[in-house]
Copies of this chain bind each other. A is one copy, B any other.
Amino acid sequence: MEKDITIYDIARELNLSPTTISRALNDHPAVNKKTKQRISDAAAQMGYRSNFFASNLRKQHTNTIGLIVPRLDSPFHSAVISGIEKVLNEEGYNLIISQSLETFQKEKSNAKTMFDSRVDGLLVSLSFETEDLQHFEPFINRGIPVVFYDRVAEHRNCTNIVIDNLQAAHKATSHLIEQGCTNIVHITGNLKRNVYADRLKGFKYALLDHGLPFSEDQVILGEMTEAAGQKAASQILAMSPRPDGIFVSNDTCAVSCIKALKQAGLSVPQDIAVIGFNNDAISRVIEPNLTTITNPGQEMGEVAVKVLLLQINGTGERIPGNTINLRSELIVRESSLKSKAKSKKKSVLA
């Protein structure tokens, strides 16, 4: 349990002032190259490590950015975090993470913790239940940039990173219609969240654009979990006439729905075509493979953090109320392919 060595120790060792040591270690231009070298050698040799806390205390910033995420154990958010961590690590920033577990309450308390931790910037994907953005005001008021991604909300000064959910949903729904579906159900999440509200809009507009009727009965709202998918399936099975297509707002839910449907003796896509969302690994495992929409988590994380860093090191540019759209596309697999589907024997057996 040795003692930490400080710039004072190095200064004494080299007969220099602590100031010079500090400057050299921070690569200040006004330090002699040779002195700089001597100092960095000595520092390395003596096992010096900078004290973040003293430095932060002095500089009034933390080199830490905060992330509030609905849940950690989701393939999409894992990918996002992976992207964030990658960039941040290269830039020498630290990341602190907390999960809201989809509750407003927890999200508020997380925000408070982040604020008290004096993060230099905040990355947020909103919980299902979040009602307003009050809890982020302290950041805004102090000029601490906040960037929302995926589950976003409009706020002056905050940038949003998203995909075009409306368009994606429109594409998915249109695809179902082109496959011959005329009675389509949409399973989605809490409409407070843009992602679900926008997908519902895209769903509606697509029906409209193809001259199909829309009624509220065609929308099933839920938690988008495995259990929710099962429950939705049984609701769908009870509908009459039975729907011939389903557009689900995530793959987890779509997959469990398909499982339940198959168990009930239906065949996908012949009896019901299904489309999911996110392009999780699971979508390539379910049989039939799931048609879905890509949601570039890793890229979204990278972009979000880059935008945040840009604002932190603000070279003036503010980008207020701006939204950045990332590309996403429909990946067509068997679960929606009514036309090309060979009349498999499986359908008979079920």
**Stretch of A33-41, A75-83, A182-190 with 4 or more beta carbons under 8 angstroms from chain B:** A75-83
**Cα(A141)–Cα(B73), bound, Å:** 34
Q: Does A285 contact B (CB under 8 A)?
A: yes
How many copies of this chain? 2
Q: Is the CB of A72 within 8 A of B82?
A: yes
Q: Does A220 contact B (CB under 8 A)?
A: no
**Cα(A346)–Cα(B347), bound, Å:** 11
* In the complex, chain A residues 89-146 whose Cβ is within 8 Å of any chain B Cβ: 89, 94-99, 110, 113, 115-118, 141-143
Q: Is the CB of B85 within 8 A of A72?
A: yes
Question: What 0/1 pattern do residues 30 to 69 of A give for CB contact below 8 A with B?
Answer: 0000000000000000000111111011000010100000
Pick the contact of A98 from B71, B89, B259 — CB < 8 Å? B89
Q: Does A1 contact B (CB under 8 A)?
A: yes
Pick the contact of A57 from B54, B64, B110, B113 — CB < 8 Å? B54
Q: Does A252 contact B (CB under 8 A)?
A: yes
Question: What 0/1 pattern do residues 272 to 290 of A give for CB contact below 8 A with B?
Answer: 0000000001100111000
Q: Does A349 contact B (CB under 8 A)?
A: yes
**Cα(A226)–Cα(B285), bound, Å:** 11
Q: Does A74 contact B (CB under 8 A)?
A: yes
Chain B residues near A113: list those with CB within 8 A. Answer: 89
**Cα(A307)–Cα(B101), bound, Å:** 24
**Cα(A142)–Cα(B3), bound, Å:** 9
Q: Does A255 contact B (CB under 8 A)?
A: yes
**Cα(A281)–Cα(B226), bound, Å:** 9
Q: Is the CB of B285 within 8 A of A118?
A: no
**Cα(A303)–Cα(B108), bound, Å:** 27
Residue of B nearest to A99 (CB): B85
Q: Is the CB of B98 within 8 A of A97?
A: no
**Cα(A1)–Cα(B72), bound, Å:** 32
Q: List 29 A-B contacts (CB under 8 A).
A: A2-B142, A49-B115, A49-B116, A49-B118, A52-B53, A52-B116, A52-B117, A53-B53, A53-B56, A54-B57, A57-B57, A72-B81, A72-B82, A73-B75, A73-B79, A74-B78, A75-B75, A89-B110, A89-B113, A94-B96, A95-B97, A97-B97, A255-B285, A281-B282, A282-B282, A287-B287, A345-B345, A345-B349, A346-B346
Interface residues in chain A, defined as those with a beta carbon under 8 Å from any beta carbon in chain B: 1-2, 49-54, 56-57, 62, 64, 71-75, 78-79, 81-82, 85-86, 89, 94-99, 110, 113, 115-118, 141-143, 226, 252, 255, 259, 281-282, 285-287, 298, 345-346, 349
